[in-house]
C-alpha cells in the first residue's frame, strides 16, 4: 500500500524540467532580468537589490517553478574570455534567451556577431529563441524596431524555430512576464524534438 501511495504522490508532484540559457554580452542585464523573473514567479521570494547586481563571472544559476514545470536558468558570463564556454551548455538546453543592451550602440555589432555565432551551432538547431531588447527604461535607447532587423538579417540561421523579439527592462520588470510565459509555451511546443527532464 505504501508503494502505491508513494507512486501516486510522485506522479502528482512530478514536473517537466527545462534548461534555459541566458546569453549576451557582459552588462547587457542578464542577471538583472533573471532576478526580476525569480521575484515575479516565485512566491515569497524577496530578491536582491537589482542595482547592486554586477557582471556574472562564470555561471549564475536560478530556478522558477510555475504552471506545473520547472525552469533551470543558466546565466552565462558574457565577457570575451567566457564566451568560449557557452557551447558546452548548448546540447542540454531547451531554450535560449539572448539579451541585448538597447542603450549600448557602440557594441551592437559585437553583440550581433556573437549572436550569429551562437545560432549557427548545430546543438541549438530548432531550440526556441527569445531576444530581449533590454534596458528600455533608459531614455533614447534603441527600440525593437531598430534592433529586430539587425538581429534577424540572417533569418536562414534562425530557421523555423520559435523566435520572438520583445522590449524589456530588468530594472522595472517591463516585458518579463511576457518573456517567461512565451518561453514556457515555446519549449512545450518543441518538447517532441527536445523532451524535458522529469523532476520528481
Binding residues for Mg(2+) are 31, 56
- What crossing angle do the helices spanning 108-120 and 144-151 adopt, rounded to 10°? 40
- What whole-number distance in Å separates Cα of residue 116 and Cα of residue 63? 27
The residue whose grid cell reads 520559435 is 162
Please identify which of the residues 10, 79, 152, 153 carries the catalytic annotation: 79
Active site residue 63: no
Q: Residue 116: enclosing H or E segment and its boundaries?
A: helix 108-120
What are the strands, taking DSSP E only, across 44-147? 59-66, 69-76, 95-101, 129-134
- Name the 3-class secondary structure at 131: strand
Catalytically active residues are: 79
Amino acid at each position: 500500500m505504501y508503494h502505491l501511495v508513494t507512486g501516486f504522490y510522485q506522479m502528482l508532484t512530478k514536473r517537466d524540467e527545462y534548461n534555459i540559457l541566458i546569453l549576451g554580452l557582459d552588462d547587457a542585464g542578464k542577471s538583472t532580468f533573471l532576478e526580476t523573473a525569480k521575484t515575479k514567479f516565485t512566491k515569497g521570494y524577496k530578491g536582491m537589490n537589482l542595482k547592486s547586481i554586477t557582471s556574472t563571472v562564470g555561471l549564475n544559476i536560478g530556478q522558477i517553478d510555475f504552471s506545473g514545470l520547472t525552469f533551470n536558468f543558466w546565466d552565462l558570463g558574457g565577457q570575451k574570455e567566457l564566451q568560449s564556454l557557452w557551447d558546452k551548455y548548448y546540447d542540454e538546453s531547451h531554450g535560449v534567451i539572448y539579451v541585448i543592451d538597447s542603450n549600448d550602440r557602440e557594441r551592437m555589432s559585437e553583440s550581433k556577431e556573437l549572436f550569429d555565432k551562437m545560432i549557427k551551432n548545430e546543438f541549438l538547431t530548432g531550440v526556441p529563441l527569445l531576444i530581449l531588447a533590454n534596458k528600455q527604461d533608459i531614455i533614447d535607447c534603441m527600440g525593437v524596431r531598430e534592433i529586430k532587423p539587425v538581429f534577424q538579417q540572417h533569418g536562414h540561421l534562425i530557421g523555423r524555430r520559435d523566435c520572438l523579439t520583445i522590449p524589456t527592462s530588468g530594472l522595472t520588470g517591463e516585458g518579463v512576464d511576457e518573456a517567461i510565459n512565451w518561453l514556457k509555451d515555446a519549449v512545450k511546443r518543441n518538447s517532441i524534438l527536445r523532451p524535458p527532464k522529469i523532476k520528481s
